[in-house]
Amino acid sequence: MINSVNVISPDFNIPTARYVLQNIASCTIPQSTSADKLQGAHRLSCAPYSPKTMTRPFTLPILASSCLLALAATSASAQSTVPVPATDAEILAMIKARVDIDKKGTGIVVGLIDPRGSRVISYGSLSVGGAPVGADSVFEIGSITKVFTATLLSDMVQGGDVKLDDPIGAYLPAGVKTPLFKAKPITLRELSGHLSGLPGMPANLAPANPANPFADYTVPQMYAALSAFEPTRASGEIYAYSNYGVGLLGHILSLRAGKDFETLVRQRINKPLGMDSTAITLSADMKKRLATGYGMPGVPAQNWDMPTLAGMGALRSTTADLLKFVGANAGILPSPLYPAMQAAHKPQRAIDKRPGESIALGWHILDAHGSRIVWHTGGTGGYRTYIGFDQDTRRGVVLMSNAHSGSEDIARRALNRAFPLTVYTPPPAMVEALAKRGYQHIEAIYQELRAGDPQFKLGEPMVNQWGYEMLMQGKLKQSLEIFKLNVSLYPASSNVYDSLAESYEKNGRMEEAIASYRRALEIDPAAKNAQDNLKRLGVPAQGEPKQSQ
């Protein structure tokens, strides 16, 4: 079965590291790497992509001394107790690879801020063939809007307008029924901290246009969904991410203030911080700077509108503006909002089954690799963004891209090199070796790469996706070898056996397909795809079919 989960590979793998280091040579880095003011931020530029810069031979050549030092620094930083960020040149090389190799949009902008100053690194264009992206390029920021909503909540608490533990019914129209579990109401704190128990999306969401799914959702519909919701547990007990809950919170704060959500953000956040390119309604100038979003490579996505649930994800912004927001949150830039921001960073609850992670008001907190990062991501139909800062080093990052799937891993490495990179595509060095030696040698080739660098690792979902891509291209034998590798690497996974079975079927090896479907069920008796396929093939879930020759 196809698994779309992103794969995380520990640190740099050999092909990725070499690609990054090869591209550092083509990058032009200004001498000054800090600025007293954001207006003085520099842009790190790089030579445009050409096929020559992608050349990556399978044999591992002796690296130049500067490359060896860069790799050594990367390895050492992973072991260091003090977080060491990726260099500007490494960040630029990573975003180049993400755009040119992984095809994650056409442009990525990374903003960095610390007590010494701020700077911006960018690569690519606003659209296919469009103008270059930069600090003032406009992107949809999706769920990063939620931390703006949390900041509004905290600021209104500081001002005495509301209290965190006020029940939501105190601010909604009298006719709106609010959920209760054993007489316990949902509070404003619980809406912001994803502890309300409300579903991720309202049950009555039925968009007329799925490409713009919230555009026609109305306030009466939001109230109806709330009135119809029957909780099965008390709020405050379990973290469960809810877009609906934070959208409702934004609406409640607007009702309390007597102003629409966009006006609240403009007056209470944008104006104090000097953010003039953060809005829901795009000005004519912002429209000119708007990056085109891409849900799939080369396929533009429609922009999203959220008139009712604005607080969950309606804002658009720029890297320059978000650097001001992150800088104020990190205490780097002075702001009258800092007390409210600090209060919003206070952890509300640990996130179950996710060690080192907790939820604050809107913000998520991650303790890992010696860093304590306060962060949030944002995604809409064609954009993926990230903001975060390390509370200890007071180093902040903004990453904005015009692709639906993200590059948050690059943002985390910009704060601390010890965080891993995500592998989206098969390493070219491995692909080249397979083309020369044949896919029947895939496991040996993989082990050779592992011997060269024990940190090199292929994740289960990426290998699975690779196998399906080959299957869809009609390369049946190659896909079978890829799925066999995945079974070898992840023998405890039901999904890899299920995928292997599908490949066996396509290769006409039915006995082995049945055996693999059965193995998937042995590992996970609830594996529905395996159940359905065995039923389709008219065979029982148990038995020992003969292996084909």
Identify residue 517 by its one-letter amino acid code.
Y
Predicted confidence band of residue 421 (pLDDT cuts 50, 70, 90): confident
More confident residue, 348 or 39: 348
Domain containing 440 equals 428-537
pLDDT at 204: 97
**In terms of domains, do 269 and 338 share one?**
yes
Q: What kind and span of H or E run contains 89? A: helix 88-100
More confident residue, 423 or 514: 514
Separation in Å, CA 113 to CA 171, 342, 402? 38, 18, 22
pLDDT exceeds cutoff 60 at 402: yes
pLDDT exceeds cutoff 70 at 474: yes
Least confident interval from 42-46, 230-234, 269-273, 324-328: 42-46
Quote the CA–CA distance of 237 and 233 in Å, as a whole number: 8
pLDDT exceeds cutoff 90 at 456: no
More confident residue, 139 or 27: 139
Predicted confidence band of residue 452 (pLDDT cuts 50, 70, 90): confident
Domain assignment present for 21: no
**In terms of domains, do 116 and 164 share one?**
yes
pLDDT exceeds cutoff 90 at 70: no
**In terms of domains, do 483 and 387 share one?**
no
Structure tokens at 234: 């008390």
pLDDT in tens, 279-308: 999 999 999 999 999 998 889 999 999 999
Q: Could you tell me what percent of the chain has a pLDDT over 70?
A: 83
Q: Tell me how crowded residue 160 is: count the other CB atoms within 10 A of its CB.
A: 7
Predicted confidence band of residue 131 (pLDDT cuts 50, 70, 90): very high
CATH number for the domain spanning 393: value is: 3.40.710.10
**In terms of domains, do 320 and 229 share one?**
yes
Domain assignment present for 44: no
**In terms of domains, do 314 and 283 share one?**
yes
**In terms of domains, do 309 and 435 share one?**
no
Q: How many separate domains does the chain show?
A: 2
Quote the CA–CA distance of 56 and 308 in Å, as a whole number: 50
Quote the CA–CA distance of 542 and 539 in Å, as a whole number: 8
The counts of H helices and E strands in the chain are 20, 18
Domain assignment present for 548: no
Domain assignment present for 2: no
pLDDT in tens, 2-33: 433 222 222 223 233 333 433 433 333 333 33
Structure tokens at 313: 């994800």
Quote the CA–CA distance of 240 and 529 in Å, as a whole number: 27
- pTM given for the model: 0.75
Domain assignment present for 65: no
**In terms of domains, do 218 and 302 share one?**
yes
Quote the CA–CA distance of 362 and 535 in Å, as a whole number: 45
pLDDT at 350: 96
Average pLDDT, the chain: 85
Orientation angle between helical segments 528-537 and 494-506, nearest 10 degrees: 30
pLDDT at 73: 38
**In terms of domains, do 363 and 437 share one?**
no
Quote the CA–CA distance of 93 and 22 in Å, as a whole number: 8
pLDDT exceeds cutoff 80 at 517: yes
**In terms of domains, do 108 and 249 share one?**
yes
Q: What is the CA radius of gyration of the chain?
A: 25
